[in-house]
Amino acid sequence: MITVHIRFFAGHRDIVGRSAQDMQIEEGATLGQVWGRLTVDHPRLAGYTGRLLYAINQEFAGPESPLADGDEVAFIPPVSGGTPDGEGEFAPFLISATSLDPAPLLAYVQTPDDGAVVSFAGVARNNFAGRATAHLSYEAYAEMAAPVLGQIADEARERWPIGRVAVHHRVGHLEIGETAVLVVVAAPHRQAAFAAAAYIMDRIKEVAPIWKKEHWADGETEWR
């Protein structure tokens, strides 16, 4: 037998009632088999089957991936959406519990080679699908989220001739009007900068392990 450490986030954590647990499994067991055991123990998790991502030791993996003793496992719910390298150093890809300031990102991406800088800010709004929102809260698998933001930037560089990229994302409590995410892209020409910024934001919502909870004005909550 081997032991793996399982991390739970967002709606999964609410269902299981804890943020982590250890599980003993047969040697050679796969991610998919561990997920199957969890859905037996917690039947409400089964509703996420087919809609989640898998990770081993903070890297994406497939359900057929075998596990080793001591692996950290995460089953990542549908996403909505690090730390600095050292004190005083700028981190281009950052998960932050404090307010976001675009100025350092703009200063970082600008170089003499680039004639365009596109900056996008995602802001907490007071409604969704016609329902009033009181405030938002964000949660992230922080150890994995910042590297994933960097990987998304690399994807954009493979598609467009762009320069530096910076992405910062908030976690924690956000009042209406606060900035949740900043995406800043530099490029020699504006077309590439605009296209890359849009692509990066779309991919954040697809694969970054960051989740948003709507706190509705009527007191109910919902992970999205």
> Are 127 and 191 contained in the same domain?
yes
* Percent of the chain at pLDDT exceeding 70: 95
Q: Among residues 115, 119, 106, 108, which one has the least CA distance to residue 188?
A: 115
Does residue 70 sit in the same domain as residue 102? no
Q: Domain tally for the chain?
A: 2
Does 54 share its domain with 17?
yes
In a domain, 83, yes or no: no
146 and 36 co-located in one domain: no
Q: What residues make up the domain containing 47?
A: 2-76
Q: Are residues 128 and 20 in the same domain?
A: no
pLDDT for position 142: 82
Residues 98 and 146 in one domain: yes
Q: What is the CATH number of the domain that holds 148?
A: 3.90.1170.40
pLDDT at residue 80, rounded to an integer? 58
64 belongs to a structural domain: yes
Question: Closest Cα to residue 91, out of 16, 145, 35, 172?
Answer: 145
Domain termination residue (choose one: 76, 108, 125)? 76
Tell me the pTM.
0.70
Say if residue 72 is in the same domain as residue 106: no
Residue 63 lies in a domain: yes
pLDDT digits (tens, 9 = 90+) for 171-201: 999 999 999 999 999 999 999 999 999 999 9
**Cβ pair 212, 80 in contact under 8 A:** yes
Q: CATH number, domain at 70?
A: 3.10.20.30
Question: 203 with 120, same domain?
Answer: yes
Q: What is the 3-state secondary structure (H, E, C) of the chain?
A: CEEEEEECCHHHHHHHCCCEEEEEECCCCEHHHHHHHHHHHCHHHHHHCCCCEEEECCEEECCCCECCCCCEEEEECCCCCCCCCCCCCCCCEEEECCCCCHHHHHHHHCCCCCCEEEEEEEECCCEECCEEEEEEEEEECHHHHHHHHHHHHHHHHHHCCCCCEEEEEECEEEECCCEEEEEEEEECCHHHHHHHHHHHHHHHHHHCCEEEEEEECCCCEEEC
> Does residue 152 lie within any of the structural domains?
yes
How far apart, in whole angstroms, are the C-alpha atoms of residue 79 and residue 68? 26
pLDDT tens digits for range 95-154: 999 999 999 999 999 999 999 999 999 999 999 999 999 999 999 988 889 889 999 999
Whether residues 122 and 213 share a domain: the answer is yes
